[in-house]
A and B are shown apart, each in its own frame.
Chain A
Amino acid sequence: AQSVTQLGSHVSVSEGALVLLRCNYSSSVPPYLFWYVQYPNQGLQLLLKYTTGATLVKGINGFEAEFKKSETSFHLTKPSAHMSDAAEYFCAVTRNFGNEKLTFGTGTRLTIIP
């Protein structure tokens, strides 16, 4: 079975500060890993994904994440937080490239302090 654990259900950072949202995964096979963002009253939107190849992946809105197999982690970062980054962020994993049956974490709500 696969799972992801997101450390910290709520994270607050000041505008302009580094954003770090943590995600650790558990998988018996090489995982495909994703970060999704959910703004209020909107659908989930893909930020970035790791499948194979380069372990540092860049996504939309200046976010990036690094796949670290030795640490079973896929943390999401952004160098400088913007007010518009306030949202809920979900890490997800799938083992099967046959479909997008994703297993999501419980989410981290990001608050930006002006």
Chain B
Amino acid sequence: DTGVSQNPRHKITKRGQNVTFRCDPISEHNRLYWYRQTLGQGPEFLTYFQNEAQLEKSRLLSDRFSAERPKGSFSTLEIQRTEQGDSAMYLCASSLRYRGQMNEKLFFGSGTQLSVL
């Protein structure tokens, strides 16, 4: 178990640029979640995947945000035309969910800190 890996750890960009983050979940995990955490706040749910299918998206996820998990393994989160308000820590988490399971345990990565200048 190597844990959930997120890259890069830090990203500084200029307003209007596009950025992409990557998340590598724990290898056998079928679910992958993206959360966003701003300073002084708790994490906020953005979206989640079961295998390659994106099952839910938060209203927080504007049309400038897109997430993919093309082969049901790693995931990318892209933000187009970044704004200063996008500055936050972007957290990825993964879990293994069995059919009929009541709930699963989330394993979080250390996050990608985005700063938009």
B42 near A104 (CB under 8 angstroms)? Answer: yes
A-B pairs under 8 A by CB, number: 62
Task: Choose, from A11-19, A40-48, A61-69, A70-78, the stretch at the interface.
Answer: A40-48
User: Which residue, B44, B102, B106, B107, has most C-beta atoms of chain A within 10 A?
Assistant: B106
Q: Is the interface of B mostly helix, strand, loop or mixed?
A: loop
Bin chain B's interface residue count. 20 to 34
Tell me the complex Cα distance, A54–B42, Å: 27
User: Which residue, A9, A90, A94, A101, has most C-beta atoms of chain B within 10 A?
Assistant: A101
User: Which residue, B42, B43, B55, has most C-beta atoms of chain A within 10 A?
Assistant: B42
Q: Is the interface of A mostly helix, strand, loop or mixed?
A: loop
Q: Can you list 6 A-B contacts (CB < 8 A)?
A: A43-B4, A43-B91, A94-B103, A97-B102, A100-B48, A105-B42
- B-side interface residues toward A, CB under 8 Å? 3-4, 31, 33, 40-45, 48, 55-56, 91, 93, 95, 97, 102-111
